[in-house]
Structure formats: C-alpha cells, structure tokens
C-alpha cells in the first residue's frame, strides 16, 4: 500500500526516499551534513544564508565531492539563500549557477524572491520559498515556487516572532487550503517544531 508522505508527490518530484528537506541553515548546514542527509534520502540544502562566497564554495564543493560517487544521492543536493542579502551581494548565488552540478533546488527565504526565482525558473531549477505569513503566499507562488515551506514561529534559527508570525499547527493547513484552490501542483512543506518522525509522518 502506498504511504502518501513517504511515496508522495514531493518525494517523487525530487527523487527522495525520505520526504524531508534539510533546511539551509546559514553557516550551519555544511557539505558534510548535507551529504549525510542526501545519502539518507532527503533533499539537502547547503546553508548559503547571507551569501558568504568562501564558505558557500567550500561547503557546496565538499557536498559534491562527498556525493560524487553516487549520482542519485548527488541529485538531492541544493542550496539556500536569504533573499534580502542577495540583493546586496549575489556572488555566491551566481557561483552556484556556474557549477557543473545542477542544484536539486534553491531555497529563497526572507524577502522578495522574485528577482532570483526568475533566474532559477529560466534555468529550470526548482525554487523553494519559505514564508511566514499568508500575505507572502501569492508572491511566492507568482515568483514560480515549486515548493512552499510554511515556517511557523516554533522554528529555530531564523523566522518571525510570536507576534508577527503564525503557529505551524494552524499555518500549514491554511496554506494547504489556499494551494489546493489556487496552485494545486505546488508542494507544501512544514517547518518549525517538527522534531521527529511522529510529527512528520502521521500513522494511518
Ligand atoms: C541555526 C539555524 C539557522 C537557520 N538559517 C536559515 C537560513 O539561513 N535560511 C533559511 O531559509 N532558514 C534558516 N533557518 C530556518 C529553517 O529553514 C527552518 O525553518 C527551521 O529550522 C525549522 O524549524 P525547526 O528548527 O524547529 O526544525 C535556520 C534555522 C536554524 C536552526
């Protein structure tokens, strides 16, 4: 019997055996962690964060080298950046696009993704947009996001506080309803306070 999350649309689209994306945690998701997660079957996004060129080059290359002997695992490696910072310096973003390895996906968070998502869409690289409010959703979909990450205020690291953002528990279903109506092919991931498989995969 098919397990809808494990064998679902997201896993199928990105050739995953685990329906999870490793967050591109700025300066924290390095090549070794990304390679380990790719080998474990998840989508793995190096934490390009604020666009530090040296760090991104070293860690992304590390991931490529560690995964180089297995095309399937390597095909799960991508990167993520903070959009408002890319507006100041996009050298690391441009460097990724110049590499032979085509990123499995590029994640854009915090700011208007549009200028960068257009470049990615033109190259047919899947765009993942992480958002914190319903108001950001139409912009992310119009920007060409293949995947929306609904980030609740429970999220660690970067995100909105309790006054400005939404709880994961209520935010995710509201986005799911909106997508079902307006953009049913867009994938949806939840982020924030999901700590283990019991939160990610509901038994049935
Ligand atoms: C140390 C740390 C750094 C992060 N940096 C980024 C980042 O640069 N870009 C981004 O999109 N999300 C970043 N995030 C947020 C994650 O994408 C994700 O929303 C969050 O980790 C999910 O919540 P959880 O920690 O409860 O799993 C970061 C999270 C952490 C813990």
Q: Does residue 202 register a pLDDT over 90? A: no
- Indicate the CATH number for domain 9-198: 3.20.20.70
Question: Do residues 188 and 150 make contact, with C-beta atoms less than 8 angstroms apart?
Answer: yes
Average pLDDT over residues 54-66: 98
pLDDT tens, residue by residue, 152-172:
999 988 889 988 999 999 999
Q: Is 109 in the pocket of ligand 1 (CB under 6 A)?
A: yes
What is the spatial distance between Cα 140 and Cα 199, in angstroms, rounded to a whole number?
25
Q: Does residue 52 register a pLDDT over 90? A: yes
pLDDT tens, residue by residue, 87-120:
999 999 999 999 999 999 999 999 999 999 999 9
Q: Which residues pair with 147 in a beta bridge?
A: 128, 187
50 Cα–ligand 1 center, Å: 13
The per-residue pLDDT for 201 is 65
Cα dihedral value 49, 191, 189, 204, nearest 10: 150
Average pLDDT over residues 174-203: 90
Q: pLDDT class for 135, splitting at 50, 70, 90?
A: very high
Question: What's the predicted TM-score (pTM) here?
Answer: 0.96
Average pLDDT over residues 58-67: 98
The per-residue pLDDT for 101 is 97
Q: Is 199 in the pocket of ligand 1 (CB under 6 A)?
A: no
The per-residue pLDDT for 175 is 98
Q: Does residue 142 register a pLDDT over 60? A: yes
What is the spatial distance between Cα 111 and Cα 196, in angstroms, rounded to a whole number?
29
The per-residue pLDDT for 13 is 96
Q: pLDDT class for 195, splitting at 50, 70, 90?
A: confident
Average pLDDT over residues 162-184: 96
97 Cα–ligand 1 center, Å: 23
Mutate to test the pocket of ligand 1, among 140, 156, 195 (most ligand atoms within 8 A of CB): 156
Going from N- to C-terminal start, the domains of the chain cover 9-198
What is the spatial distance between Cα 203 and Cα 182, in angstroms, rounded to a whole number?
28
Q: Assign residue 192 a region (left: φ > 0; alpha: ψ between -120 and 50; beta: otherwise).
A: left
- DSSP assigned state of 71: H
Mean pLDDT of the chain: 94
Question: Do residues 57 and 92 make contact, with C-beta atoms less than 8 angstroms apart?
Answer: yes
Question: Do residues 142 and 117 make contact, with C-beta atoms less than 8 angstroms apart?
Answer: no
Q: pLDDT class for 204, splitting at 50, 70, 90?
A: very low
What is the spatial distance between Cα 69 and Cα 64, in angstroms, rounded to a whole number?
9
């Amino acid at each position: 019997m098919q397990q809808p999350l494990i064998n679902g649309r997201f896993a199928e689209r990105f050739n995953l055996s685990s329906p999870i994306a490793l967050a591109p945690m700025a300066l924290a998701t390095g090549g070794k962690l990304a390679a380990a997660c790719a080998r474990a079957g998840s989508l793995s996004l190096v934490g390009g964060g604020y666009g530090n060129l040296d760090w991104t080059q070293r860690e992304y290359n590390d991931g490529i080298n560690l995964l180089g002997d297995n095309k399937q695992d390597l095909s799960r490696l991508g990167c993520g950046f903070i959009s408002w910072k890319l507006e100041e310096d996009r050298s690391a973003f441009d460097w990724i696009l110049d590499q032979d390895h085509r990123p499995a996906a590029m994640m854009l968070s915090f700011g208007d993704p549009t200028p960068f998502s257009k470049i990615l869409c033109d190259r047919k690289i899947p765009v993942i947009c992480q958002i914190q409010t319903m108001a950001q959703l139409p912009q992310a979909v119009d920007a060409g996001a293949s995947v929306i990450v609904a980030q609740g205020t429970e999220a660690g690291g970067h995100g909105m506080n309790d006054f400005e953002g939404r709880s994961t528990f209520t935010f995710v279903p509201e986005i799911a309803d909106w997508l079902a109506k307006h953009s049913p092919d867009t994938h949806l991931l939840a982020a924030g306070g999901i700590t283990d498989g019991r939160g990610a995969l509901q038994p049935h």
